[in-house]
Structure formats: C-alpha cells, structure tokens
Structure 1
Amino acid sequence: MSGRLPLFDNAALRSAETRAATRLGDNFVLMQRAGLAAWHCVLAHWPQAQRLVVVCGPGNNGGDGHVLARHAREAGRPVRVLRLPGHEPRGDVAIRAEREYREAGGGIGTFAGALGEADVVVDALFGIGLKRAPDGGAAALVSAINDAALPVLALDAPSGVDADSGCVLGVAVRAMRTLQFLGAHAGLATGQALEHVGARELATLGIDDDILPPGEAIAEALDARALAGFLRPRGRNSHKGESGRVLCVGGDHGKGGAVLLCAGAALRTGAGLVDVATRAAHVPALLARRPEAMAHAMESARELAGLHAAADVVAVGPGLGQDAWGSELFAALVDGDAPLVIDADALNLLAAAPRTLRVDTVLTPHPGEAARLLSTSTVDVQGDRRAAAAALCERYGCVVVLKGAGTVVAAPGRRPRIIDAGNPGMAVGGMGDVLTGVIAALRAQGLDAFDAACCGALLHGAAGDAAARDGGERGLLPSDLFAPLRRLANP
C-alpha cells in the first residue's frame, strides 16, 4: 500500500455519484450498494450487535439507512428506524428505499426525546447534506445520540460536521466509525472533524477508480506507509557531507531546551552535521546532553556569518525569544542564501513584520501562530484549516506546515497534503521544536522544501504514535520521539 489517499470536496463527490448512477443505469442501484456496504460494516465491526437503531433523514443519506435497516431485518436482527417529524423521504430513490424497508416488515418511529435500547446506532440523518448547525429537533436528536454513549456508525459524514472544511458549527454526532462512499472527504481528515469521525473507512461501491479522477482531488492524505516513498537507503560510500549541514538558531536565556530538542531531532533524522547557535550560558549543558552537536556561543548577529555561510539549511525559532537578541539573529538570517525552516518565536517576529519569503522557506505554525501571521483569530484558522494554510502560502509565498490534529502541508502551486499520523499526547511544549529539526534535516539531505515538510510532518507524527504505543499518550515527552524517529527514518 502506498499510504496515500486522494481527498475530495463535496462537489466532486456529488458529481461522481451522478456519473456512477448513470453508469449503473439506475440511481437506486447505487443506494442499494451503499446500504449493503453499511450493513457489512456493522457486521465487520459489531458482529455481536443484535439491536440496531437507524436514524434516518429525508434525503439520500436516510435512504442508505433504510437499505441498511432492511438488510438487518432480513438477517433477523431487531432494528428500529427513527426520524424527526416532517422527515419523510424526499426524492424517488429515498422513497423507494423506505418502501422496500416497510415491505420487509420494518416499522418507523418518530423521535420523541430518547433512542431506546440498542447495541449500535447508525447515523443516516444528514451525511454531507447539512451546511449549518443542526437546530431544534435535529439538535436534540444529535444530542440524544451522543448522550446514549453507544457505538455509532456514521454514513458518509457525522451529522453536524461540514465534510468540506471539517468545521463543527454546533452540536454534531460523535461516531465510533465513519463509512465514506465512493471517495474520502477532505474535511473529515483534519481539525474539529477528528473529534467526531472516529475511525474512517471507505467503500468504493464497486465503481471503477475513473469515476473520481485523481485530478479532481483537492488534497491528499498521507499515513506512515508513505514514508518509504520519501526516504531511500544511503549508499555504502556515503559521508557526512552528503547528509547535509543544519544550523539551529535559538535558545535565548531560559529557553535553551528548545534549541537542544531541535538539534537532537535533526541528528536523529540523519543530518550529517548540526551546528547550534545559542546563548553562551547554554553551551555547557548542550555539550553535556548532545555532544554530537557543535555548540557555538552567539551574542550578536556578527558572530553568525560564518556558520550561516556553511549551512545547507537553517532552523530558526526554537527558544529564540522576541527581544533584541532574537530579533537581530532572525533579521540576519531571513535575507540569507540558506533555506530556512521557521518556527516558534521566529514566526511571531515574522507576524510583526510580514514579508514575502523565498519559495523554499518552510513555516511551521500552530493555529495560534497561524492566526497571528494572518491577522485573524484561532477560531477562524481552525474553522477551515486547508483554507488557512492556503492563505498563509499566498501571503508569505512559501511552504506552510499548519500543525495540529490532521496537520496540513501546503505550498504555492502544489496540492496540499494532510498528515494522518500523530496523537493527543503530542500536545506538549517542545514537540514543535522536534518537528523543526526533523524538517531541517530532511531538507539538508536533499528533499525539496515541500517534500521535506510533508515527510517531516509525517515522520514526526508516526514517531509520536510509536512512542505512545510504548507507554501511552499522557506524559509523552518530545525526547521520547528520538528513538522511533531513527527507526522510522530507515524504512
């Protein structure tokens, strides 16, 4: 498996659905396949479940639910369909699906505040058809699904989640698993949506791949299997110079640990040489903790010139601070010839004086830093993370790694990639410093800026997952990633 999955917006998926129905000669055939795939999903993941509640809306998503309910009934499972008042099916195929369910002996109830007893709940309420927050009875029904604390299978998208942006405007179903049809939704791979989708699964419904041409994808998801496509074994006669020289700049007074983590990550990811320019007070500790790094006391930008000239890549920002020392060093680097990876305080200095950067610069903001770079709010950034990453690319003219759940990597003229790796245990100070070192090391080893950013974010997330498997998410430290970084960087 390649570890790469094309992601589509709702418009492309609706067009594909129309083409698929035309190819099959009957819209209802496609709905039958979707409902059957959903029933097989229930059997695969909850084989012991006897009692099903299927919550159906008035559209085709509800039609898929009725088909699933018919299969469950025909298999001898007690199943109840619930819907809201006024949610009678609309459209020929949805009406037909309900009729066939009734003809199989199924009954339909009206939601009156509770779901009743069930082993599994199927959310076939809205799918991708809702572009606003559920309100009134719909909001009450979604809340009842969540309050029931039962396993939930969402069809196409959890109701209340915008499948294009991943935004959750109000209450939304929290599913244990989401079954997508024909193609994967870009919005379900990042941000707020990840709190609601659970495990994601794709049913292509027996339709050939050409129904969704790769050129229509608006993004691509990468998981850990994709690492092998970026990283190649080294030649037997390799030497350290071929693996690149990284200069890490940062560590103002009291912040020496940040640049130490950055340097350690660069070394563990395979950089041949790593220099560290930091405050004199941090040099002894850095040499004691990471003797492989070449530590240099740096009190002014004048002392930086030689190191800067020798570097293949500069990682600037971890622990840099925003006072005179950090500002002077950043100003000296931003106009230089060496490619930059910019993080942390260097991003805040950039936000204070925005400018177009070299196209091979890599910015690595978290949502708060992204909001400052865009002069907007964190809420706006998180409301549409792909759009925020694109806006950063446009404003600064370079590669952007928008960190967070479902990290988004974007670059001018390139299709964005969304990282399907990482876990909540990585939400701790210092993780971003490690990522900066990882990306800088990959850039120094010859990857272009966009691929270094993509591979680096993926490698970082996969290392975090490996470390969490060893000891759990809570209490995970940035330095815990060093051992799995080395292992995963050698596929």
Structure 2
Amino acid sequence: MLTLTSQHAKGDSVSLLRSSTLRPLYTAEQVGELDRRTIASGIDGFALMQRAASSAWHSFRARWPQARTVSVLCGGGNNGGDGHVFAALAAQSGLKVQRVTLKPINELKDDALKAAELATAAGVGDDPWHTDLVLSGEVIVDALLGTGLNGEVAGRFRDAIQALNAAAKPVLAIDIPSGLAADTGAVLGVAVQAACTVTFIGDKIGLHTGDAPAYIGEIDFRPLGVKSQAYFDIPPTAWRLNESLLAEAFKPRLRTAHKGDMGHVLVLGGAPGFGGAALLASQAAARLGAGKVSLATAPEHVVASLMRCPEVMAHGVRGAAELGELPEQSDVVVVGPGLGQGAWGQAMLQSALNTDKSLVIDADGLNLLASHWADTRRENWVLTPHPGEAARLLGISPTEVQADRPAAARALQQQRGGTVILKGAGTLIAGPSGLLVCPYGNPGMASGGMGDVLSGMLGALIAQRHENEESVWLATLVHALAADAGAAKHGERGLLASDLASYACSLINP
C-alpha cells in the first residue's frame, strides 16, 4: 500500500490520504526476482507457466470470443514457453492453431521444452519461421521475446515482428510487446503493436511511459496469485496513479469556508506579445478552486484578461519593481507561461526565486533556469518540463531523455530538488516519495497551452492544500482526466487547452 500524507491545513487539504488502489510497478529484474521467490516458496515453475498461459487464454477469449483461428509466435525461454502452452489450450478448445517457432523445439530447455512438448501432444503443428510464411490466424499471439530483452531486436526476430505488424491483425502480447523495453518503454529497434497486453506477477513500468502507449493496447494485469507487496525488500520502482484518488482527496468543503481559506495564486507571465499562456494558467487556477488568483503580466494584456476572466486580478507590470508586495501576498507563484527569455522574463523569474513561497515553474521559466540558474536547487518548487526542456536542464539530448524517461525524471529531481513532472505520454512524477506514473491523457493534448493549464491547476491545488507533492499527483490526474473527458465528448482532434478547465471543475467536485 502506498501511503500518501499531507499536512493538516485549512482549505481542501486532508490530513491523511491512503490508497490501496495505486498499482505498484516494477523493473524486469524485480519481476524476475518475484518469479524466482514464488517458485522457491513451493510453486512449480512449469505450473506457474501454465497459470500464466491460462490467464492469457482467458484474456484472449474475453476480447475475441468469435475467433476460430489463431497464430502463436513462440521464441525461446519462458516467454516462448507461455506461447506454447497457450497454443495447447487453444487447440484443446477447438481452435485451429498455427504455431510459429523462432527457436527449434529440440533446442529448447527446461520448462520451455515441457511447454512445447505439451503443445505437440495437443496436436499443434510446428511451423519454423521463414520470411515467406503467412500468418493465417484471425488473431496473432506474440510470445517472442518477453521482458529480458536488453538490446536492439535483430535477425529473424526483427523480421518476424515486422511481418506480424504488417499482417494488420489484432495482436495479444504475452507479458510485453516484443521489442519494447520493460524498464523504460523505449522501442528497441522495432516492436510489436498489440491490441492487448496481458502481463504477469508484477506490472512493468515500461508498459506505462515512453513509446509504450502506442504499442501496448489495453493492459490486462494478472498477478497469478503472487502478492508482490508482501516482499518488503523488493520495493516498487514506481506507482501507477488511479482516478479513485480524486474521491478521497476532494471532500465537500466546510459550510463556513471563505476565499481566504482557499489560497492565493500569483501567475507571473505574459511578456509583451505572449499574453495567452498566462491567461490560460490564471483561468485554470480559478477553475480549480483557488480563493484568489492574481496575474502579473505585460500591461497590454490586462484588458484581455479582464474580458476573459474578470475573477482574476490582473496587474500590468513593466518590470520587477512594479510587482510590489504581490509575491509575498501569495501562497504559490506560478512562473513561466508566456514568460519569454528576455529581460522582462528574467526579472519575473528572479522575483519568484527571491521569495520563499512554493513555486511552479514551466515553459520559458525552465529554459531560463537551464541558461541562467544552472545550479539553483529548491525543495519547495515544482518543475514541469517536456522532454526538450528536461534535456536542456540535464545537459543531454531529448532523444536521451526519451530513451529512459524514468532515469531522466529521477536525475532531474535529484539535481534540482522539489517535485518534477516529466510530461509526455505516460507522464512521470518524481518527488521525495518516489516515482509515479499517470496513465491517463490522450493525443488530443498535443496542442498549444496544455502545459500552461497544468501550471495553473498545480498552483491552485498547492494553494488550497498547503503542500506540494500530493497536489502534484492530483493536479496531474485532473489535467489528464479532464482531457480524456473532453476527447470522449468531442474527439481528440481540435481539443483545446481552454476546454480543460470546465471538465476539471466537474472532476474535483464531489
């Protein structure tokens, strides 16, 4: 169980937030150790393999109940063994099974050999892989490589994966789509594009971030009776956020609550000519329940702010000297949306850094940190980079960030402190309590202003809850779920950042 704690405070804070619904995520090595310990505890390894294949078979039947033919691609090792047992179960259930082997059966060993012999005894044929082979099944089962892959896919396995994808048929991946890195979600040269991935014993972090969302399809997690959290010396490498947290976190407000209880957010942004981002952040902060929202922006943007959201207290400032007491009067300072990297933006960021308030830094605020405050570290800030911004902060390339997103998020948090949100498919949150993954969101979020809205939401929840880390978890959840709600109603194409605030408002109200 992941324990989430927060300070007891006024506003929407709760004194103790616990959830057993957050799924633990593991590395491939950790899952391998869980597997070994399960076998050592008295469960036969082949029996565990049969249990996995049976779970995969039930997952297959639930999704494709009308299928009468199936092609099963089997590699060597235990993943291939799962495929062989699956083939036997399918044949025993009356399906016509095409078993394609990429390692000769007479070269298999131990449980994998037993599994292959079981399939042969069930009347399943053996079609050794060759490039002209036609995959005849209505559905294809991928049991090629599993989680042990640690280098680029090559040779006949690469050819088989390419042929599998070219077949344009639904695919059930056993444990992980072959070619996907279990620890990072990166594609190792080429990977199977699955409609469903049934994974066993411990869920893998690489199924939830990086390239994985484009390859895994639906995830069906089957623990096979293994209670992973009973092994206290194998702590999860990360946790998967769950929308059930929202009901726990957002209780009805006290009937005597007033705006002073709900926090004051200051947004610093909107350099001359870049006003839209700061307006989006400000309105999002207001919609997420902040008691007061102030906006310090270039004077020419004030009228637009008043017309867009008169509840936001807009201040036109030409430089840091005109901020006055605004930073000290706020509970949280959001700095970065539309900030620019010129003298105005630098002055605004310096003013934010001069306070001891909680900070949310986004966009050009992050770029200025990388170029002008390379050694600055704080424990009470939230950094919200996309891969390009994270790369600049770390001094590496965006490709390197994407190759191992969990490592990049952890490295940035270790170097800079506070809490880091590494945005993108499978957003990662690295903070003092460890690493979390947000499995929600959709490609409709690939449009301007989405990060600005997230920054405003972060500011609002931090201001109300008077702590940072849990607020980051919740704001990230609300942001992604609001986008999913918008996409469900109108579609992904044309989803605007300004659409999210109203959906988010519904999500956070009991």
Cα deviations across residues 83-115 of structure 1 (Å, max 9, x unaligned)?
225575533111101111111111110112233
Is this contact kept in 2: 1:191–1:385, CA < 8 A? yes
| Cα deviation, residue 448, structure 1 | 1.8
Opposite residue 239 of structure 1, the aligned amino acid is H
Cα deviations across residues 201-252 of structure 1 (Å, max 9, x unaligned)?
1111133455554952010011322222332321110000110000001001
Kindly report structure 1 stretches of 4+ aligned residues shifted beyond 6 Å. Answer: none
CA distance in 2, matches of 1:214, 1:392: 26
Give the match's secondary structure for 1:216.
Answer: coil
Give the match's secondary structure for 1:200.
Answer: strand
| Cα deviation, residue 333, structure 1 | 1.2
CA distance in 1, matches of 2:23, 2:493: 29
CA distance in 2, matches of 1:89, 1:72: 24
Are 2:162 and 1:140 equivalent residues in the alignment? no
Are 2:54 and 1:30 equivalent residues in the alignment? no
Partner of 1:475: 494
Moved more, 353-362 or 248-257: 353-362
Give the match's secondary structure for 1:400.
Answer: strand
Are 2:112 and 1:94 equivalent residues in the alignment? yes
Give the match's secondary structure for 2:47.
Answer: helix
Opposite residue 411 of structure 2, the aligned amino acid is A
CA distance in 1, matches of 2:79, 2:71: 15
Are 2:364 and 1:345 equivalent residues in the alignment? yes
1:187 aligns with one of 170, 184, 206: 206
Q: TM-score, normalised by structure 1?
A: 0.97
Opposite residue 194 of structure 1, the aligned amino acid is P
CA distance in 1, matches of 2:347, 2:447: 28
Partner of 1:49: 67
CA distance in 1, matches of 2:365, 2:324: 18
Are 2:378 and 1:358 equivalent residues in the alignment? yes
| Cα deviation, residue 335, structure 1 | 2.2
Is this contact kept in 1: 2:98–2:136, CA < 8 A? no
Change (3 A) 1:263 1:71: same
Are 2:392 and 1:372 equivalent residues in the alignment? yes
1:410 aligns with one of 412, 430, 451: 430
Partner of 1:76: 94
Identity level (%): 46
Are 2:470 and 1:451 equivalent residues in the alignment? yes
Is this contact kept in 2: 1:342–1:364, CA < 8 A? yes
Are 2:425 and 1:401 equivalent residues in the alignment? no
**Number of equivalenced pairs:** 490
Q: TM-score, normalised by structure 2?
A: 0.94
Change (3 A) 1:130 1:433: same
Cα RMSD of the aligned pairs, angstroms, is: 1.4
Structure 1: 5+ residue runs without aligned partners? Answer: none
Moved more, 187-196 or 211-220: 211-220
Change (3 A) 1:177 1:213: farther
CA distance in 1, matches of 2:233, 2:349: 40
Change (3 A) 1:195 1:89: farther
Partner of 1:260: 279
Structure 2: 5+ residue runs without aligned partners? Answer: 1-18
Opposite residue 284 of structure 2, the aligned amino acid is A
CA distance in 2, matches of 1:407, 1:437: 17
Moved more, 81-90 or 290-299: 81-90
Change (3 A) 1:136 1:305: same
Cα deviations across residues 337-391 of structure 1 (Å, max 9, x unaligned)?
2110000011100000212332010000011110111111000011111100111
Partner of 2:296: 277
The within-5 A match list for 1:191-230 is 191-210=210-229, 212-213=231-232, 216-230=235-249
CA distance in 2, matches of 1:298, 1:88: 77
Opposite residue 219 of structure 2, the aligned amino acid is R
CA distance in 1, matches of 2:178, 2:452: 37
Cα deviations across residues 128-176 of structure 1 (Å, max 9, x unaligned)?
0211111111110000010011110111111101101111120111111
Give the match's secondary structure for 1:405.
Answer: coil
Partner of 1:420: 439
Opposite residue 185 of structure 1, the aligned amino acid is K
Opposite residue 418 of structure 1, the aligned amino acid is V
1:21 aligns with one of 25, 35, 39: 39
Is this contact kept in 1: 2:264–2:291, CA < 8 A? yes
The within-5 A match list for 1:310-349 is 310-349=329-368
Is this contact kept in 2: 1:58–1:88, CA < 8 A? no
Cα deviations across residues 46-90 of structure 1 (Å, max 9, x unaligned)?
111111000001100011111111010001100111022557553
Moved more, 394-403 or 108-117: 108-117
Change (3 A) 1:107 1:390: same
